[in-house]
Amino acid sequence: MENRVAPLEGACKNYEEDLVLYYYGESGAAERAAMEQHMAQCGRCRNFVDDLGRVLPKMAPQPELPQPFWDSYFRETMAKLDAHQARQSWWRGWFAPLNGWLMPAFGTMAVAALAIALVLDKSDMVSFIDTPAPSIPAEVLVDSNQLEFFKSLEILESLGTLEELDASKPEPKTSDIHNGRTAPAVA
């Protein structure tokens, strides 16, 4: 083979795709004859096919692996297959009762149970929606319970009036306090 550095030359535009197929032996008999006829007259296309033959077989070379590699490869593959088979057997053991006609029956029952659950659940939701919600939320109720407190605030506002009333009232005697008697109620 000619020792050229130039790797690939272009072929005639109309022939290039067919020449690639020709190189790979993928042309029909008639196409092959036509290519050979063309190449007999066209050095460019002839060089193109020669270059394909020079370059493409050397693309992406494979590593040359020794026999022990393949022995180990085979053993590993079979070990993985055994492990895989063992896992499958375990699962099949579990689901064995569901094989045959039981599987569709089980599926139908599961779907029916799901449908019933959904219907019941929906009816529960309707009853929940129909139930009147408490008119006053708990937080608000707590606030309403504090109403007395706010009323007492109104008393504080009239504190001045109370002080005046206290001032006009005579001081209770100590003995009265000890006897459990308090001041008469303010009218």
Q: By the criterion CB under 8 A, which residues form the site for other proteins?
A: 1, 3-10, 16-17, 20-21, 24, 26, 52, 54-65, 70, 73-74, 76-78, 80-81, 84-85, 88
Cβ proximity to other proteins, 62 vs 145, nearer residue:
62
Cβ proximity to other proteins, 85 vs 158, nearer residue:
85
Cβ proximity to other proteins, 88 vs 108, nearer residue:
88
Pairwise CA distance, residues 109 & 163, whole Å: 83
Three-state SS at 43: helix
For the bound state, the minimum distance from the C-beta of residue 109 to other proteins, rounded and expressed in Å, comes to 27
Three-state SS at 146: coil
For the bound state, the minimum distance from the C-beta of residue 7 to other proteins, rounded and expressed in Å, comes to 4
Name the strand (E) or helix (H) holding 22: helix 16-23
Cβ proximity to other proteins, 26 vs 124, nearer residue:
26
- DSSP E strand boundaries for the chain: none
**Who's near 162: CB < 8 A, 6+ residues apart?**
155
